Structure 1
Amino acid sequence: MSRAAVLAGIGSCLPPRAVSNAELAPALDSSDAWIRSRTGVRRRHVADPGTATSDLAVGAGARALKSSGEPQADAVLVATTTPDHPCPATAPAVASRLGLGGVAAYDVSAVCTGFVYALATAAGLIAARAADRVLVIGAETFTSILDPTDRSTAVIFGDGAGAVVLRAGEPDEPGALGPFDLGSDGEGQDLITVPAGGSRQRLSGVPATAAEHCFRMAGKEVFWRAVRRMARSGRTVLDRAGWSPADVDRLVSHQANARIIQHLADDLGIPRDRSVSDIAEVGNTAAASIPLALDRAHADGVLRAGDRVLLTAFGGGLTWGSTVLTWPRLERA
């Protein structure tokens, strides 16, 4: 019989320090009103010195495991753009710190689409009977790769982690994920990038500048590509699931920008008030954005058992992906 990946637990972890627009604005020749009008962000959480991506991942993972009622998992996947080290992957250390040493553990790198890619990968492990329970974490310390003088990026991004536990179950039970749609377009790789630090730059024979070690994004180019790709991918999984846009109770997209979230809902034909958004409070947290939004919506009662949910994301690569599920009853850690 076919096995589905079923959502069994959820948790999140945010650094305690929250930085308001008012705190950032003077150094960027900006204002709270300007930042809000263009991004929808009011504040973002910033990791303190000495805090790494793995620390946030462990916090979120522990809460997700507790929520699931079972402290064990057969695999740990960490979706991140900001690993603790270029080598090795961050996931094995996270697994060890969670008392899961010895299980399969690896990172998934798809920038802001990373969490959806990791969900699909975990679903594959479960379908293949390589695992019965998988801990999937999206974790970022994105402020560590930002240029603090770049107004186009410094005001948008924040740090945080969100996690879910998936267990083997039946395709028709609440919480079952799928179908999935995943895609990429490598011709747009330079639109969302950190130019330096990899083999392309290191073997070029040209020393990198400090600025080239920072994150860059062509915001105007990315805006409409993100809307169109997420909308197309979202419609694909709705069609495969036999759902119409009217069937969707909650749209949870990558928290890229408040205007992108609004335009995406319009393009899909889903009322804007059905979109789940926490970008005002945490900013764009890349691979962590969807699980953070899910956990907040669950805690606030915005997501209720039986709600039909569409997840969709877009990120560097370029990459995109979507899936659907019916929200299950979950415990709050």
Structure 2
Amino acid sequence: MNMNFILRGLGRYAPERVLSNADLEKIVDTSDEWITTRTGIQRRHVVADGENASDMAAEAARMALANADMDVSELTHIVCATFTPDSVIPSCACRIQEKLGIKGQMCIDVSAACSGFLYALQTARGYLLLEPDAKVLVVSTEVISRRINWEDRTTCVLFGDASGAAIMTAGEESDRPRVLDVMLEADGTLGDLLTVNGGGSAYAYKKDEPVGNEFFVQMEGREIFKHAVRNMVGISERLLERNGLAKSEVDVLLPHQANYRIIDAVGRKFDIPEEKVFSNIHEYGNTSAASVPLALSEAWDTGFIKPGNLVLIPTFGGGFTWGAGLIRF
């Protein structure tokens, strides 16, 4: 593939409202010590009343555009990764377009849960191959707090709301991050281990019917852990091999921020020292599709990622979906 895929700009947004572990102790039977030791999460951000997925995405997009020194009118495509869109129709991408004050761009949503950003990134690379002059907004945004049963202590402690964005173009800029490769896989036979069924056509509601537990995130945590670590490591090894790279050449491991135990296990499998593994799960919790671009933007801005670094990004999410990406900063 003889084209350079450039990340012209990165952006992120998290709601102002913060829900700490101490706050959760007042809602469900849990404790700060239990949550922290098992997940690494200390806080998570939750949307305000009237704040939606598209609002957060528009904020992250504006930051990415400013970072890219681009005007919003230059965008040609909007690819949004989410499983918590504002509505089924219009798509979240169309809602984002509206809130950015533009029209005419191609807009599409991608649903791959926690692997959503890499799936959207790969979609954007496909558009750029077809239209090399395109300028694509790739944005991931999740309002998981509205798909959580706040009486279920096994799930409500894990998730938060946020958005992350990237502007992708073709180009030769040597001072901008370059997406080297992305590899994606899925296994629908395992889908029932992590679900949000309610509202789908197979789980439709009748008028005035109460919402059931199927409307909320339901998951088998122990089974997911095993599949997540195995598949994140396996696909990352195959991606490195395809690009003629050794594990020792990875400067930064930036995994999907699902659970610190998963992050730590993946790092150990790769023999990557802790100081080279980026994690911000303590602050945001699991923000699903938003976690990777949120982490990328923060790691770049804080200097954790340095110019020239090779960044490996493994992900795993509902579906099951998983993937890995390589970015040279």
Amino acid at match of 2:48: D
C-alpha RMSD of the superposition: 1.8
8 Å contact 2:177–2:328 — kept in the other structure? Answer: yes
Amino acid at match of 1:26: K
In the aligned structure 1, how far is the partner of 2:105 from the partner of 2:173?
25
In the aligned structure 2, how far is the partner of 1:28 from the partner of 1:138?
29
8 Å contact 2:132–2:170 — kept in the other structure? Answer: no
In the aligned structure 1, how far is the partner of 2:279 from the partner of 2:49?
28
Pick the aligned partner of 2:190 from 181, 188, 191. 188
Structure 2 partner of 1:295: 297
TM-score w.r.t. structure 2 length? 0.95
SS in 2 for 1:288: helix
Amino acid at match of 1:180: V
Unaligned runs of 5+ in 2: none
Q: Note the C-alpha offset of 1:88.
A: 2.0
Note the alpha carbon deviations across 1:228-272, whole angstroms, 9 max, x for none.
111111111111222111101101110000000000011122222
In the aligned structure 2, how far is the partner of 1:16 from the partner of 1:244?
41
Q: What is the percent sequence identity of the aligned residues?
A: 39
Alignment of 1:191-202 (within 5 A): 191-202=193-204
Q: How many corresponding residue pairs?
A: 325
Note the alpha carbon deviations across 1:64-91, whole angstroms, 9 max, x for none.
0111011221101110010000222110
Q: Note the C-alpha offset of 1:208.
A: 7.0
In the aligned structure 2, how far is the partner of 1:203 from the partner of 1:4?
47
Structure 2 partner of 1:60: 60
Is 1:106 aligned with 2:108? yes
Q: 1:146 to 1:135 in 2, by over 3 A?
A: same
Alignment of 1:232-311 (within 5 A): 232-311=234-313
Pick the aligned partner of 1:314 from 313, 316, 322. 316
In the aligned structure 1, how far is the partner of 2:129 from the partner of 2:220?
38
Structure 1 partner of 2:143: 141
SS in 1 for 2:179: coil
Q: Deviating runs (4+, > 4 A) in structure 1?
A: 170-174
Pick the aligned partner of 2:78 from 72, 76, 79. 76
Q: Which moved more, 1:195-204 or 1:287-296?
A: 195-204
Structure 2 partner of 1:213: 215
SS in 2 for 1:151: coil
SS in 2 for 1:28: coil
8 Å contact 2:178–2:328 — kept in the other structure? Answer: yes
Q: 1:285 to 1:131 in 2, by over 3 A?
A: farther
TM-score w.r.t. structure 1 length? 0.94
Q: Note the C-alpha offset of 1:26.
A: 3.0
SS in 2 for 1:190: helix
Amino acid at match of 2:106: A
Q: 1:173 to 1:16 in 2, by over 3 A?
A: closer
